[in-house]
Amino acid sequence: MITLNLDSTLNLSDETFLQLCQNNPDLRLERSAKGQLIAMTPSASQTGQQNLGLAAQLWMWNQQHQLGITFDSSSGFTLANGAIRAPDVAWIKMERWQTLPEAERRKFAAICPDFVAELKSPTDSLTMLQGKLQEYMDNGAQLGWLLDPDARRVYRYCPGESVQCLDDPETLAAESLLPGLVVHLRWVWG
């Protein structure tokens, strides 16, 4: 990951950032709330497999229940603080998604997902990812999971609660937000 601190004279507006991403489709880019440009390296093969294990379980659950919309790591969202972030896995309640005009859905939609998950790769900083999860919570997310496959640890984030650290859980449940979702971590840990 590379973070570029842009000079204050370079205003990386939403439109400029979208154009930059469209002109460079092979790059995974995010913009911090402070206007920094963050370029992320592609995931290692094993990390991609682990992320798909998580995303597939959420997608299958959502196909059965039809309560919202699921997103993969290529989906960016504009948060209330101005950051544009792309969680590894995200989900938004159907009624919230449907309030967005079609034109907004075709951009980095100005909405914070209700549920987000980030999967730590060997090259990621745990501290940086913890800050990213807290940023989602501060901008309206109702549940967040930070999964660390190497440590076989999950950090669970909920608004108004202390971060819960789970060591080597076999499954994760999403309580009332995603009723009936049970993620089997054997398909994530690899």
Note whether residue 155 is domain-resident.
yes
Note whether residue 27 is domain-resident.
no
Count of domains observed in the chain: 1
What b/e string do you get for 143-182 counting C-beta neighbours within 10 Å, with b at 16 or more?
bbbbbbbeeebbbbbeeeeeeeeeeeeeebebeebbeebe
Note whether residue 157 is domain-resident.
yes
Find the domain containing 139 and state its range.
Answer: 45-189
Q: Which amino acid is at 135?
A: E
- Give the model's pLDDT for residue 7: 56
- Give the model's pLDDT for residue 90: 98
Structure tokens at 142: 């109702």
35: pLDDT confidence band, cut at 50, 70 and 90?
confident
| pLDDT-wise least confident of 17-21, 50-54, 120-124 | 17-21
Structure tokens at 6: 């842009």
| pLDDT-wise least confident of 7-11, 52-56, 108-112, 168-172 | 7-11
Structure tokens at 7: 């000079």
- Give the model's pLDDT for residue 183: 96
Residue 128 sits in a domain whose CATH number is 3.90.1570.10
What digits encode the pLDDT tens for the residues 118-130? 999 988 899 999 9
As a whole-number percent, the residues of the chain with pLDDT over 70 amount to: 91
- Give the model's pLDDT for residue 22: 79
Note whether residue 14 is domain-resident.
no
Integer Cα distance of 18 and 46 in angstroms: 29
Q: What is the residue whose two structure tokens read 């745990």? A: 126
- Give the model's pLDDT for residue 10: 63
Of residues 157, 159, 144, 151, the one with CA closest to residue 126:
151
Note whether residue 30 is domain-resident.
no
Note whether residue 70 is domain-resident.
yes
Note whether residue 37 is domain-resident.
no
- Residue 167 · residue 150 · CB < 8 Å: no
- Residue 87 · residue 74 · CB < 8 Å: no
- Give the model's pLDDT for residue 6: 62
Residue 134 has pLDDT above 70, yes or no: yes
Note whether residue 13 is domain-resident.
no
What digits encode the pLDDT tens for the residues 63-114? 999 999 999 988 999 999 999 999 999 999 999 999 999 999 999 999 999 9
pTM of the predicted structure, to 2 decimals: 0.87
